Amino acid sequence: MLIRDAKLSDAAGIARVNVDTWYSTYEGILPEQQLALVTAPDRLRYAREVISAPNKGMVVAETENGKLVGFAAFGPERVGNLPYKGELYVIYVLKPFQRKGIGSKLMAAVRNRLHEAGINTLMVWTLHDNPYQRFYQSLGGAIVYTRTLEIEGFKTLERAYGWWDTLKMFGEEQYRNQML
């Protein structure tokens, strides 16, 4: 599995991973109309915007056959007045590839990219009902905020996980192994 920076030509593959994983994660949890708010054209635009932005980034996980199976997007914290400087905007790994360590490798790459930019604090917003929060907890993230968002008539409760020192996200030995 190769973890690398995303290129503009990856945007369509990233959008596919995003939409597939959104449905496999939230089908049966969110109402149908809310699920349908995430679409391939919208995610394609989003991927292109983040990849092109000078202060944001995306990393992808690619199989030996060149198939994109996961990605993570990151950049400056977006609320603006919180003490965390970096934000993980989104991380998705296709369901058949989950629990193989790919998400952790993407997180290590995000942490390393931000570290190179002088940023060692990180947070991520996740839906309150997200069934994968153990992932953030396993990396030492703690719940630091909650908020309610209203998007197109749907009230959504969100939680933020935070890392005050991302260099402690993995044990030292793991950190050395994951300098990607």
Ligand X SMILES: CC(C)(COP(=O)(O)OP(=O)(O)OC[C@H]1O[C@@H](n2cnc3c(N)ncnc32)[C@H](O)[C@@H]1OP(=O)(O)O)[C@@H](O)C(=O)NCCC(=O)NCCS
Binding site for ligand X (CB under 6 A): 21, 25, 90-93, 98-104, 126, 130, 132, 134-135, 138
Shortest Å distance, C-beta 19 to ligand X: 12
Smaller CB separation from ligand X, 132 or 164: 132
Shortest Å distance, C-beta 1 to ligand X: 10
Smaller CB separation from ligand X, 54 or 70: 70
70 contacts 94 by C-beta, under 8 angstroms: yes
Q: Are strands 86-93 and 122-127 parallel, antiparallel or unpaired?
A: parallel
Smaller CB separation from ligand X, 60 or 90: 90
Least Cα distance to 128 among 155, 109, 104 occurs for: 155
Shortest Å distance, C-beta 114 to ligand X: 17
Shortest Å distance, C-beta 25 to ligand X: 4
Which strands make up the sheet holding 86-93, listed edge to edge?
2-5, 57-62, 68-76, 86-93, 122-127, 154-163, 142-151
- State how far the Cα of 48 lies from the Cα of 10, in Å rounded to an integer: 9
Smaller CB separation from ligand X, 11 or 90: 90
Taking CB positions, which residue lies at the least distance from ligand X? 103
Smaller CB separation from ligand X, 132 or 175: 132
- State how far the Cα of 19 lies from the Cα of 39, in Å rounded to an integer: 6
Shortest Å distance, C-beta 57 to ligand X: 16
Cβ-in-10-Å burial (0-12, 13-18, 19+) of 34 comes to middle
